[in-house]
Amino acid sequence: MLSDDDLRLIRRHRRASTQLGFAVQLGYAHYPGRVLRFGEAAHPQILAVLASHLGVDPAAFNEYLHGRETTRREHLLELQRDFGFRSFSAGIYRELAGWLLPIAMTTEVGTVLVGALIDELREQKVLAPALSTIERLAWETRRRAERLVFVRLTAAFTDVQRAQLDALLVVQPGARMTTLAMLRQPPRRPTPATFMARHGLARQGAHPHSILRISQTIDEST
């Protein structure tokens, strides 16, 4: 619902269409955390509730919907000036990338990362950009996290073990695939014991969980 302060600022606009249009933009800025794009219609229920609160006809929004782009830009500036909202920027992109990195180190699920970004944008009162921008930020941060995980997994390896890992990417004479591809083929009985026995990883000094995680990271980066 609109507060008294909200109503006071909304009613600075003289016409019913701009009052209702600004109220809709304010509501969307609070939740889901963005403003309507030019030509984008508001949800009918949201429109009806806000129109009732303002005492105007919901049909007045049609004039705003097809009105001047200048009016929408002016309303965006008002949201920033009077309500503390901020526009998305390159600086905020970098800040969010740093904020998201620890989360990306714990999960590879893209929807979780995108959801976390949307929640944080709303918390910081940053008006969300296009979903494709948020998805790209999540993807780039996840890739960075994968590289950091790889570095941490291999940091304690000896030169001999690193050479053995490099050999995983080589197709050996007479083989049809790399050793890495062979490692990813499940044994008949998928138990740690049969896995280690089949590939002789124990003698190479590498922990099986590390090998599997590294192989996943290599596969995702190719």
User: With bands split at pLDDT 50, 70 and 90, how would you rate the model's confidence at 177?
Assistant: confident
pLDDT mean over 34-54: 92
Q: Tell me, what's the pLDDT at 201?
A: 44
Three-state DSSP class for residue 72:
helix
Which burial class, exposed, middle or buried, applies to 209 when counting CB atoms under 10 A from its CB (0-12, 13-18, 19+)?
Answer: exposed
pLDDT digits (tens, 9 = 90+) for 209-219: 555 555 555 55
Residues 177, 171: contact at Cβ < 8 Å? yes
Residue with tokens 């701009």: 18
High-pLDDT (> 70) share of the chain, %: 83
Q: Tell me, what's the pLDDT at 205?
A: 44
Of the candidates 143, 123, 147, the one whose C-alpha atom is nearest the C-alpha of residue 135 is 143
Q: Tell me, what's the pLDDT at 33?
A: 94
Q: Tell me, what's the pLDDT at 175?
A: 77
Phi then psi dihedrals of residue 27, to 5 deg: -60, -45
Q: E strands of the chain, at which residues? A: 86-87, 126-127
User: With bands split at pLDDT 50, 70 and 90, how would you rate the model's confidence at 195?
Assistant: low
Q: Using CA atoms, how far apart are residues 64 and 191, in angstroms rounded to an integer? A: 64
Q: What residues have CB less than 8 Å from 14, skipping those under 6 apart?
A: none
Helix 16-30, helix 44-54: angle, nearest 10: 120
pLDDT digits (tens, 9 = 90+) for 153-176: 888 888 888 888 888 888 888 878
Residue 182 reports pLDDT greater than 90: no
Q: Tell me, what's the pLDDT at 215?
A: 57
Q: Tell me, what's the pLDDT at 176?
A: 82
Query: Radius of gyration (Cα) for the chain, nearest Å?
Result: 27
Residue 110 reports pLDDT greater than 90: yes
Range in 29-33, 67-71, 154-158 with the lowest mean pLDDT: 154-158
